Amino acid sequence: MQCLLIAGEKSGEDHALSFVPQIKEILPNVHFFGVGGDNLKSNGMEILYHLKDFSSWGVSDVISKIPFYKKALNHLVAETCNRNCKVAILIDFQSFNMKLAKELKKNNIKVLYYVAPQAWVWKSGRVKVLAKTIHTLFTIIPFEQKWFKERGVPNVLGVSHPVYLQYKNQIPQEVKKYPQDSFRILLLPGSRNSEVSHNLDEMILACKMLRREKKIEIGIVESSSVSPAIYELYKNKIDRIYRDDQLVDALKWANSAFAASGTVTLTCALFGLPTIVMYRVGVMNEILFKMLIKYRGPFSLANIVHNEIIFPEMIQEEARAFWLYSKMFEIISSPNIYTQMAQKAFKTKDILQQNGMNPAQYISDEIKSAYR
């Protein structure tokens, strides 16, 4: 039984790992192929395109890769048809996957879309496309299931957030306490080369300023999808270095963090870690974002899930060393502010547990039914 799987970003691969191993236990004969990374490969997936080649950051980066994406899309559709594959699992990565879903539907392939596109942020018109092209839409943010159903998507299933499923047995049982000695600041600059290049320098400079006034240690989680040469420039300024498969150890070691906007902000919240979220793109990307996006709510996943600002969001010019330093200094200088952030973050696990549905079992049943 062949099954196309598209995980075009590191976060998508993490989502896939929350159900792929269990599916393979239920259906030992299923063979996954498509787009993924090293961790999915080690779980037996056939990688046609590595997520390192697929990931992009910012509108201009996406535009530059359009020829590659078109070629890859055509190849994936052809490969899926040639293998007589009957089911596809598309994870997030909305611009590419929405186009792919249309082509797969034309070829009568059952499409399961895991992690609903954020149509409420980008283009609400995408809801009509979803309603026409996909078999099942999995939502992971509590309000999304109702939102998509009200707009005509027929088969919408709310599942516990993959980040929660991945870490539920490792989540701390107590609220982080205000540090009495040194402050351990964890740097989470992103999972793409351009993103890390943008963010890491500002984070390091902010920590340098903090060191003039506070006793701090600096840790970093290095992403396997980022060129090691980018990190090499900063090695002598960092006290602890973790691989991305050591993220849990890093989160438990730290008592505060600077994090690039993305899934990792939700992981920080799940581990109760007071965090400052930063988001920087080039000038052209900023202009395009303002033109294309009408959404004006919080942009970090942790704050979206809570429907309030639990983590400060530093955008564009605010995401510079001085402002990062100022906000972190405010947090670590006040036991009250620090504790309030930690307490709100600690409640994340309760929000992310939706209905306890097992996505692995559901997907396995859909694969079996497609091949009957």
Domains of the chain: 2-160+354-370 (3.40.50.2000), 183-351 (3.40.50.2000)
- Report d(CA 260, CA 139) in Å as an integer: 23
For residues 147 and 241, the model is more confident at 241
- Going by pLDDT thresholds of 50, 70 and 90, the confidence category of residue 315 is confident
Mean pLDDT of 133-145: 89
**Rounded CA separation 336/317 (Å):** 27
Q: How far is CA 357 from CA 13, 95, 360, in A?
A: 20, 27, 9
- Percent of the chain at pLDDT > 70 equals 90
Torsion angle (degrees, nearest 10) of CA 36, 57, 117, 292 = -160
In whole angstroms, what is the distance from residue 274 CA to residue 357 CA? 30
Question: Of all residues in the chain, what percent carry a pLDDT higher than 90?
Answer: 62
- Using only the alpha carbons of the chain, give its radius of gyration: 21
**Token pair in block for residue 120:** 């409420």
pLDDT in tens, 264-283: 999 999 999 999 999 876 55
Q: How confident is residue 62, by pLDDT bands cut at 50, 70 and 90?
A: low
C-beta separation of 203 from 187 below 8 A: yes
Check pLDDT > 60 for residue 58: no
Nearest Cα to Cα of residue 349 among 215, 187, 163:
163
d(CA 255, CA 92): 30
Selection from 256, 220, 254, 224 nearest residue 237 by Cα = 220
Helix (H, G, I), strand (E, B) or coil at 222: strand
pLDDT digits (tens, 9 = 90+) for 204-233: 999 999 999 999 999 999 998 888 999 998
CB atoms near residue 40 (< 10 Å): 24
CA–CA distance, 256 with 159 (Å, rounded to integer): 29
Q: pLDDT by residue (tens digit) across 26-40?
A: 999 999 999 999 999
Tokens of 50: 């590595």
Give the model confidence (pLDDT) of 77-119 as tens digits. Answer: 999 999 999 999 999 888 899 999 999 999 999 999 998 887 5
Residue-wise pLDDT for 333-358, tens only, equals 999 999 999 999 999 988 887 656 78
pLDDT over threshold 50, residue 292 = no
d(CA 260, CA 247): 14
